[in-house]
Amino acid sequence: MKDINSSEAREQLQLAACQQLVLEKTYLSQEEIRRDLQRYGFDAISQSTVSRLLKMLGIIKIRNAKGQKIYSLNPLSQPTPNAARTVAEMVVSMEHNDEFVLIHTVAGYARAIARILDYHALPEILGVVACSNIVWVAPRDVKRTALVYRNIKNVLKMNIHSTTIVSHG
């Protein structure tokens, strides 16, 4: 007989790991997610289990800045704004190219993140623009965009892997 508590606990761990992976990294396929979940210790995880986890988490495919279809949290399924939310919970992802940094947030939190960056007045930032769920950061010197990215990550106390986007223009 199957131990329900251990299978429920394992599923919760799988859900948490899957969500963390999708937040931290760019994935083009479920197979890539499955391989990384195996590295997390879920050795026998199947593609159908990964598919079920993605559905349970409300993860969808969207086009990134390169035009690739990647897995991402569905902005419509994300929780409504809450003042008790930590900065780490507000930021969905960060990416940069040679010219600017983009911070993707839960809907409604971009202005709060922009305000935090303004408050810290990082000298290497020329300006910050925010809408509902995206913060655009212009570095003072485009040769230092990667440094700006790292400094923003430190200010926001984020544990996000760098994603570099390529500008087409």
Residue 45 within any structural domain of the chain: yes
Minimal CA–CA distance to 136: which of 83, 85, 88, 97?
A: 97
Domain span including residue 143? 78-155
For the record, the structure tokens of 92 come out as 């969905």
Same domain, 84 and 130: yes
Q: Which of 35, 51, 74 is the last residue of a domain?
A: 74
Q: Which of 74, 108, 129 is the last residue of a domain?
A: 74
CA 85 to chain centre: 16
Span 27-68, pLDDT tens digits:
999 999 999 999 888 988 999 999 998 988 888 888 877 788
Same domain, 91 and 69: no
Same domain, 106 and 120: yes
CATH number of the domain at 49, please.
Answer: 1.10.10.10
Same domain, 87 and 147: yes
Same domain, 84 and 149: yes
Same domain, 85 and 151: yes
Same domain, 54 and 97: no
Same domain, 97 and 136: yes
CATH number of the domain at 90, please.
Answer: 3.30.1360.40
Same domain, 85 and 121: yes
Same domain, 63 and 108: no
Minimal CA–CA distance to 138: which of 157, 159, 117?
A: 117
- Expressed in angstroms, the distance from the first to the final Cα of the chain is 60
**How many distinct structural domains can be found in the chain?**
2
Same domain, 82 and 150: yes
Residue 116, burial from CB neighbour count under 10 angstroms (0-12, 13-18, 19+): middle
Same domain, 16 and 68: yes
Q: What is the pLDDT along the chain (169 residues), one digit of tens a residue?
A: 344 457 777 788 888 888 888 877 889 999 999 999 998 889 889 999 999 989 888 888 888 777 888 888 776 665 555 555 677 777 888 889 999 999 888 777 888 899 999 988 999 999 999 887 889 999 999 999 999 999 998 888 765 444 444 433 4
Instruction: Read off the pTM.
Output: 0.49
